[in-house]
A and B are shown apart, each in its own frame.
Chain A
Amino acid sequence: MLEFKNISKEFGPVKALSNINFRVEKGEIVGLVGENGAGKSTLMKIIFGAYKADSGTILIDGRQTRFASPRDAMANGIGMVFQEQSLIGNLSIMENIFLGREHEFRKFGLLDFQKMESAAQHQLSKVGLKVDAKLQTFDLSFAQRQLVELAKVLTLEERTSRDLVILLDEPTSVLSEDEVALLFNLVNSLRSRAAFIFVSHRLDEVISISDRVYVLKDGEMVDEVSAQDADPAKIQSKMVGREIESGYYKQDEREPYNKEQTILSLENVSKENSFDAISFELHKSEVVCLVGTEGSGREAVLRCIFGMSNPDQGRITYFQNDKIKIGSPFEAVNNGVGYMPRERKIEGIFSSMNIAENITSSQMEKYSRYGFLNLTSEQDLARDWIERLSIKTPSISTDCGRLSGGNQQKVVLAKWRSSGAQLMMLDHPTRGLDIGAKQDVYSMIREMSASGIGLIVVPDTFEEAIGLAHTIFVMKDGACVKRFAPDRERVTPFDLVAAMT
């Protein structure tokens, strides 16, 4: 019913898409996979009418059409569920659901809120979400927001006679395993109402839910397979263009950690309404993963350790030294504690600064004398790390805003490693990275642990946790409910989910 023929799109010299053929049948769920920069987002933007294709045709039920704007695409039954918090926090659920279409609730030019509310409730019922439509959206959990997103898109049913096609862009990236399961059931149950285009990095998920999978690489459609005879390994190699070696998480490089030297110990650390009585120890070269649902308090713990917020009770001891007291990031950094925040774009990277400037941002004292920067040594440092982590950048003076997510992440890691942090905290380090970049991150984690650094990781997936960690702590409602030791026992995602729920 919706078909794209020979779609091409160029940005200046860059060929983003060339001769893409793509089709979706009624009630079908189509997967779209590909590394970052493969052209997924460009293709989606074209489907959704945010971009116009340079060449090629769009057919709906065989008739040729063109989308001038997202509005236009919506009118043709195409909706999109955006990745992460794409709801406006300070607006209520119903306002978000009907954003841009309030005029449908005009009575004598004024808005009829009762009408809007009931309509919103109706939409929410479609996705089985039982919340008050008047709630502000930042009071919702990530999973709930996702559902509101979906409900919002489903309003298209009432708006257009056309059959719906719904794009799901990385819908699971902010969801924990169990929430993902719920979402998938929902999507399946909605087949009758709409066809779905499911875009994700998580191959396993894509395969498990889709009927067909399109594989995109460097702007070209390199493969199209039906889900039943889809082989993850093959698809991955197609995506990456090379064979993915076994030991994806570099388990084989996991070395035993040093049980004698603790570099961090928490004793009954609590913080009002985010977590309480957390106690654990982190040893030299140990990798500790904190797993749990959103809001289970993992980020809060990291921020406390890093001094961004101060615990109400309990004590944190750094490097077995009672003298070290950390009440601010400044002190943390000076004592060799590093932190890689989740929101890379706003908390991790300085987009308008180049690589060298980013790397030295946490250690300027080292690269300056009497307040004067030593620019040459800074440059050398940058070159060194660009080489060591094979950071892909046009030039050394390129603003990091122009780098790909993976390379940005590498820059942040370079910052902490070069500053000689002995305790590293990584919050979703592989969030939104493609397979290649993920592997690089994993190997960097290995190297760090090998070099004696202790790491606390909040992983993206259970597999990641199991593959990376020496020790896993499962957190639930702000409490540490269970401890696993994947380096000694066999742990499955199921065990973790069981512990969480």
Chain B
Amino acid sequence: MPIIVLAVLVVFFTFLNPNFFSMRNFARIAIAASPFLMVTIGVTFIIIMGSIDLSMEGTVSLTAIVFCFCFLFFGGTLGSGGWVAIPLALLAGAIYGALNGFIHAKLLIPSFMSSLAMGFVGIGAAVLLTGGGIVRIDDDIFRSLLTYRIQGFPLMVYVAILFLIFGIIIQKFTVLGRNLYAIGGAEDLAAASGVPVLRTRILAFSLAGFYYSLAGVLQVAKLGQAESVTGANLMFLSITAAVVGGVALWGAIGGVFNALIGVLIVAVINNGMVVIGLPDYLQDGVLGILVIVAVILSTNRSNIRFVK
């Protein structure tokens, strides 16, 4: 169903401005969507589990900055060992996520609050590291993620697709993925069946953190810089995207693929509104209304008794 929504939107925008339906524009949408997708996939894992994660803005900024610093420290070019920065950044993301999960699951703080606070901490740490400055990366080899194109799409898009598939595999074919759905479906029963709930929760948040850090790296690839606001505006947008794509906030319904569709829907709307020349003071409102419509259309409400 969400796919139909997406299709309708594409047709609609194309109708109003044929330029919309062009390889180049799709590439542009894809670029905008790549980091955004990573974040949404991350948070989707958490939502499947029936929890929520609001720490993405902090995590993305923090990891993006960590990445830049490491990259420069190791020579400032991919060739001269700057590549080391990539695993390091991803590791940092995973660790920060695990910490986030630990505070939530071990200290028994509802994820909404713990992750919100951890988000503050993340941004704070980012400010602390940069002192508010901007860290730029000018290495052309690394930036080829953005500049080098295959089939009209920049490399970073393929990276995103790669980790999209990775995400789907985790969701469908691993114990972790299975347990996420179990916990989201009925945590007490999962626990009684010997699912290690605590570990699963922490793992899930760590996984989310990993994806956030991917987003961080892609952001740098996209903008050639990192600062403490690199992750700004991602929080509500990513959760919205997930829901628009058909992931249910009450858990256990939907998955990574839905996240993809949701991200595309939102990205298409954002791009389309400018492309058809909608005055910018209307854009937020229109986005809001379209989101509601999309959610109404894309959630299967047959077996929901009530929703909060």
Contacts and interface: CB of A to CB of B under 8 A. Distances in A.
Question: Do A and B interact directly, with beta carbons closer than 8 Å?
Answer: yes
Interface of A: 50, 69-71, 74, 80, 82, 86-91, 95-96, 99-103, 106, 109-111, 152
B190 A99 contact: yes
Given A50-B192, A80-B192, A91-B185, A102 B252 contact: no
Interface string B175-194: 10011011001100111111
Given A90-B252, A91-B181, A91-B182, A103 B193 contact: no
Given A89-B186, A110-B169, A111-B172, 15 more contacts: A70-B192, A70-B193, A88-B182, A88-B186, A95-B181, A95-B182, A99-B178, A99-B193, A100-B182, A100-B195, A100-B196, A101-B194, A110-B174, A111-B174, A111-B178
B173 interface: yes
B253 interface: yes
A250 B192 CA distance: 40
Interface residues of B, number: 21
B192 A90 contact: no
Nearest to A96: B193
B186 A82 contact: no
Contacts of A152: 193
Interface in B27-46: none
B185 A82 contact: no
Interface in B132-186: 169, 172-175, 178-179, 181-182, 185-186
Contacts of B253: 90
A86 B192 contact: yes
B185 A102 contact: no
B171 to A, nearest CB: 11
Contacts of B252: 90
The list of the 3 closest CB pairs from A to B, nearest first, reads A100-B194, A88-B185, A110-B173
Nearest to A97: B193
B169, B172, B186 pick with most chain A CB within 10 angstroms: B186
A86, A100, A152 pick with most chain B CB within 10 angstroms: A100
A82 B191 CA distance: 12
B203 to A, nearest CB: 13
29 contacts: A70-B191, A70-B193, A71-B194, A80-B192, A82-B189, A82-B192, A87-B189, A88-B186, A88-B190, A89-B185, A90-B185, A91-B185, A95-B178, A95-B181, A96-B193, A99-B178, A99-B182, A99-B190, A99-B193, A99-B195, A100-B193, A100-B195, A100-B196, A109-B174, A110-B169, A110-B173, A110-B174, A111-B172, A152-B193
Nearest to B252: A90
A84 to B, nearest CB: 11
A71, A88, A106, A111 pick with most chain B CB within 10 angstroms: A88
Interface in B257-283: none
Contacts of A89: 185-186
Contacts of B174: 109-111
Contacts of A88: 181-182, 185-186, 189-190
Given A99-B190, A100-B195, A90 B181 contact: yes
Nearest to B251: A90
B191, B194, B195, B252 pick with most chain A CB within 10 angstroms: B194
B190 A100 contact: yes
B194 A102 contact: no
B255 to A, nearest CB: 12
Contacts of B193: 70, 96, 99-100, 152
A86 B185 CA distance: 11
Contacts of A106: 175
A110 B182 CA distance: 17
A87 B185 CA distance: 10
B174, B191, B192 pick with most chain A CB within 10 angstroms: B192
A99 B55 CA distance: 30
Contacts of B189: 82, 86-88
Contacts of A109: 174
B178 A102 contact: yes
A111 B169 CA distance: 10
Contacts of B175: 102-103, 106, 111
Contacts of B169: 110
A16 to B, nearest CB: 19
Contacts of A95: 178, 181-182
Contacts of A80: 192
Contacts of A99: 178, 182, 190, 193-195
Nearest to A50: B192
A445 to B, nearest CB: 28
Contacts of A96: 193
